[in-house]
């Protein structure tokens, strides 16, 4: 028998038990809900800056309205009585045509600013390591002379050290030069990696490029900076790296001194494919290394090799029968991984179920470690990655930019799924049965093992010159041929086929490379780029014709702006000559200061310059940076744009073959010194110097003569715009005058006899020809 006290205790404990049970149920339910919420959290989100969008669209409206008034003013000229016109017809037509071209490019350019967005990723929400997909890495090099082998190996080591499961990482180096130096260096790099990778992992090193890491003065070991063990390990690893560096240099010197012709066989060599597997010695701890493959595709002088696009396609085929990873990172040989996090950041998009089905690639911005404070050559391409690519990201995504992108393998296989028979597949992708099998296989650990024991004959076939003959490689499959700008062309066709892309621009640079730090490399590289871009604009893949039928109109306008950007050379050459000669002749081409239309003509350039200045300042630039970008745009337009257009036109009519010269990435101490001092290095070809010197000579002469005429005649109100234009060109291009007349260092414009004669002949010919035409017409 229970007493009253006991009964109350039992009731109390029963109630307490029920409360605890309900609390446990609530806790379990809350945990399940939290777990479910965690699983459904997005891997990435996009942000729209509404104030920027509103500002951009208001600017478009005002500037476009002003352009309409400008066109109206120019057209009214043709309805005037020829006897009462203040200006001849010919210069008026030239200036009007230039303004139409500038307006056309401006309209195309506004598509980038219609809906810019930014993105944020959450790598911590990715699946566990064992659930991550395999990843292939492609690194391309072509010339060990212009692309130092040590830099290539540093890029390779930084990619091997990515924060990614090593058993899921496979690296392929394409050596288009077929150099034994590169193959030997890869074997040495594999040995050094057994020391380097554990060091990076143990001390959580962020910069995993050895050359960049050891060039930093501070320890940069994070929480281990004061650790004796860390400092000792760092000293030991540095000694290992210096020995590795000396070994590569010694092999290169021996190869150069031996006179072995194999180092010069870049255009004629058989395919070579070798899996790099180094046995670890007892002093090195057992460490898992990524899978490493050397690939040198076959090249013959009699057969086209299609430059970088051909090398990438060879890697695509070879890797498909070895590792066949669903995602591929493509890197230039000098673009090392500055942070190990890029793979996980890219997978935040590729594994996002909302965008993954139609996502072709994730593009990271190209950034550079050798940029000076003021970047006098605009080598970091601020406008492209901070404005244009973000604008395209709000449409269908940025263009493919050659390096630093994670590509979905399936996106470059074209329409292979609609091929019903093996014969049709062979005609589409080639006769390799192993490659055809790989089209419908996912990469697994077993498949990579099989790939390692694959008969060498199969991989050599895939890397041969003859394999692509009679197939759709370069036409519908893989990276596309027909232009040296294979990246833009391929990205455009991917968009046409319904694929999208995204820009991933985290605060910390994920990839860093070597940029051009002298004028010669800048203009040579620019000529190649602009020729390739105009090739696309003049082909059957013209964005204005092919684009709107297969993608959004705004995305088509973005591609059109890129492909027709070289046409800037036409209006800039015209506006650097015609208004100046008319100033000298007293021929007004613009409204008087008292004319209401004067404010339209003043508003248009001020509007464009102010918009550019605001974009520079809002993306971390300075007023001086704005001046530099304007200057480089002028210099490049009258040189690289011009020669790029000429090359593209000659190729279109079959009068010139396509050519590709790798940009020189060998560091020159004198060039670097001038660059760091913000002095332009004018040691370049006369084909670039002559237009600059001739046009600056014309502008200075016409400005002095124009001032004298205005003072004598007193018609400053009619000539104000032409004086303003001429002075703008002279002021912004002052470094050319300085290099020609003031500087005495090695980077000055040396007044050689050929330069002086050619520049004077060009300036005199232009002046005399146009001056006579201005008087007659």
As annotated, the active-site residues are: 176, 487
Say if CB 342 and CB 209 are below 8 A apart: no
- 510 closest CA partner among 345, 383, 360: 345
- 163 closest CA partner among 125, 135, 194: 135
Cβ neighbours of residue 237 closer than 8 Å, sequence gap 6 or more: 195, 196, 199
Taking CA atoms, 407 is separated from 312, 362, 410, 437, 502, in Å, by 12, 7, 9, 20, 11
Measure the CA–CA gap between 222 and 86, rounded to whole angstroms: 73
- 343 closest CA partner among 312, 321, 364: 364
Two tokens, residue 348:
């935040």
What are the start-end ranges of the H helices in 430-577? Answer: 433-438, 445-452, 456-462, 486-496, 519-537, 543-546, 553-564, 569-575
Find residue 119's DSSP bridge partners.
Answer: 46
Say if CB 773 and CB 90 are below 8 A apart: yes
What are the start-end ranges of the H helices in 586-685? Answer: 597-618, 623-636, 642-652, 669-676
- 451 closest CA partner among 271, 311, 343, 292: 292
Q: Which residue has the tokens 């498909």?
A: 320
Measure the CA–CA gap between 532 and 644, rounded to whole angstroms: 8
Q: Which residue has the tokens 């600056």?
A: 696
Find residue 141's DSSP bridge partners.
Answer: 175
Strands of the 272-276 sheet, one edge to the other: 272-276, 291-296, 169-175, 135-141, 327-332, 405-408, 359-363, 500-503
Strands of the 367-368 sheet, one edge to the other: 336-337, 511-513, 367-368
Say if CB 696 and CB 730 are below 8 A apart: yes
Distance from CA of residue 53 to its chain's centroid?
A: 25
Residue 221, number of CB atoms within 10 A of its CB: 19
Measure the CA–CA gap between 202 and 248, rounded to whole angstroms: 27
Instruction: State the DSSP H helix or E strand holding residue 37, giving kind and residue range, or none if neither.
Output: helix 4-40
What are the start-end ranges of the H helices in 283-421? Answer: 307-320, 342-350, 382-383, 389-393
Measure the CA–CA gap between 476 and 415, rounded to whole angstroms: 8
**Helices (runs of H) and strands (runs of E) counted in the chain:** 29, 13
Two tokens, residue 231:
């400092």
Residue 216, number of CB atoms within 10 A of its CB: 9
Which letter does DSSP use for residue 134 in this model? P
- 495 closest CA partner among 558, 440, 406: 558
Say if CB 91 and CB 22 are below 8 A apart: no
Find residue 501's DSSP bridge partners.
Answer: 361
Measure the CA–CA gap between 236 and 284, rounded to whole angstroms: 13
Measure the CA–CA gap between 413 and 439, rounded to whole angstroms: 8
- 748 closest CA partner among 693, 705, 694: 693
Region label for 81, one of left (φ > 0), alpha (ψ between -120 and 50) or beta (otherwise):
beta
Measure the CA–CA gap between 489 and 710, rounded to whole angstroms: 51
Residue 349, number of CB atoms within 10 A of its CB: 23
């Amino acid at each position: 028998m229970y007493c009253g006290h006991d009964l109350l205790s039992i009731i109390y404990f029963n109630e307490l038990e029920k409360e605890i049970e309900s609390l446990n149920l609530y806790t379990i339910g809350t945990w399940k809900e939290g777990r479910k919420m965690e699983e459904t959290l997005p891997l990435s989100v996009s942000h729209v800056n509404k104030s920027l969008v509103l500002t951009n669209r208001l600017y478009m409206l005002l500037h476009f309205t002003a352009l309409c008034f400008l066109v109206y003013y120019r057209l009214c000229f043709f309805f005037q009585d020829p006897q009462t016109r203040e200006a001849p017809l010919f210069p008026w037509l030239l200036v009007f045509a230039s303004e139409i071209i500038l307006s056309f490019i401006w309209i195309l350019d506004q598509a980038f600013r219609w809906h810019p967005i930014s993105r944020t990723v959450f790598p911590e929400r990715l699946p566990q390591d064992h659930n991550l997909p395999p990843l292939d890495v492609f690194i391309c090099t072509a010339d060990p002379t212009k692309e130092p082998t040590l830099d290539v190996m540093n890029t390779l080591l930084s990619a091997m050290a990515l924060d990614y499961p090593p058993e899921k990482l496979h690296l392929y180096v394409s050596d288009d030069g077929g150099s034994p130096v590169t193959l030997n260096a890869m074997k040495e790099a594999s040995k050094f990696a057994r020391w380097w990778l554990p060091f990076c992992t143990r001390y959580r090193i962020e910069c995993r490029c050895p050359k960049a890491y050891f060039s930093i003065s501070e320890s940069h070991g994070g929480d281990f900076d004061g650790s004796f063990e860390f400092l000792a390990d760092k000293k030991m690893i540095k000694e290992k790296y210096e020995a590795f560096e000396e070994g590569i240099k010694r092999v290169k010197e021996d190869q150069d001194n031996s006179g072995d012709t194999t180092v010069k066989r870049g255009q004629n060599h058989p395919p070579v494919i070798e899996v790099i597997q180094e046995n670890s010695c007892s002093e090195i701890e057992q460490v898992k290394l990524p899978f490493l493959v050397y690939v040198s595709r076959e090249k013959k002088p009699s057969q086209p090799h299609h430059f970088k696009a051909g090398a990438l396609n060879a890697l695509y085929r070879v890797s498909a029968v070895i590792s066949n990873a669903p995602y591929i990172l493509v890197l230039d040989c000098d673009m090392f991984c500055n942070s190990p996090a890029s793979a996980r950041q890219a997978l935040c998009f590729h594994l996002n179920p909302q965008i993954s089905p139609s996502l072709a690639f994730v593009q990271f911005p190209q950034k550079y470690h050798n940029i000076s404070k003021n970047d006098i050559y605009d080598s970091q391409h601020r406008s492209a990655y901070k404005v244009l690519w973000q604008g395209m990201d709000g449409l269908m995504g940025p263009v493919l930019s050659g390096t630093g992108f994670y590509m979905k393998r399936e996106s470059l296989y074209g329409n292979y799924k609609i091929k019903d028979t093996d014969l049709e597949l062979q005609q589409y992708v080639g006769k390799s049965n192993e490659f055809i099998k790989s089209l419908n296989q996912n990469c697994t650990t077993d498949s990579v093992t099989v790939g390692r024991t694959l008969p060498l004959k199969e991989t050599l076939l895939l890397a041969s010159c003859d394999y692509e003959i009679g197939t759709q490689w370069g036409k519908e499959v893989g990276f596309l041929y027909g232009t040296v700008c294979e990246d833009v062309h391929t990205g455009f066709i991917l968009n046409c086929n319904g694929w999208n892309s995204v820009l991933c621009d985290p605060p910390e640079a994920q990839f860093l490379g070597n940029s051009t730090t002298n004028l010669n490399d800048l203009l040579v590289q620019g000529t190649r780029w602009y020729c390739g871009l105009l090739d696309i604009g003049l082909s059957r893949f013209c964005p204005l014709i092919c684009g709107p039928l297969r993608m959004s109109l705004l995305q088509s306008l973005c591609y059109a702006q890129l492909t027709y950007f070289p046409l800037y050379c036409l209006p800039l050459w015209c506006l650097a000559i015609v208004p100046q000669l008319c100033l000298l002749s007293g021929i007004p081409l613009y409204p008087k200061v008292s004319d209401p239309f004067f404010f339209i003509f003043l508003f248009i350039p001020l509007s464009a310059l102010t918009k550019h200045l605001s974009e520079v300042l809002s993306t971390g630039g300075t007023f001086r940076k704005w001046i530099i970008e304007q200057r480089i745009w002028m210099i490049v337009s009258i040189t690289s744009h011009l020669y790029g257009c000429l090359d593209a036109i000659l190729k279109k009519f079959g009068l010139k073959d396509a050519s590709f010269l790798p940009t020189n990435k060998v560091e020159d101490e004198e060039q670097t010194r001038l660059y760091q001092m913000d002095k332009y290095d004018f040691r370049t070809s006369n084909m670039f110097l002559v237009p600059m010197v001739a046009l600056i000579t014309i502008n200075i002469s016409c400005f002095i003569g124009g001032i004298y005429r205005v003072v004598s005649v007193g018609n400053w109100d009619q000539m104000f715009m032409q004086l303003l234009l001429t002075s703008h060109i002279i002021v912004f291009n002052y470094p050319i005058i300085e290099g020609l007349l003031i500087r005495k260092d090695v980077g000055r414009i040396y007044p050689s006899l050929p330069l002086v004669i050619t520049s004077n002949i060009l300036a005199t010919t232009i002046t005399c020809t146009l001056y006579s035409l201005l008087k007659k017409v």
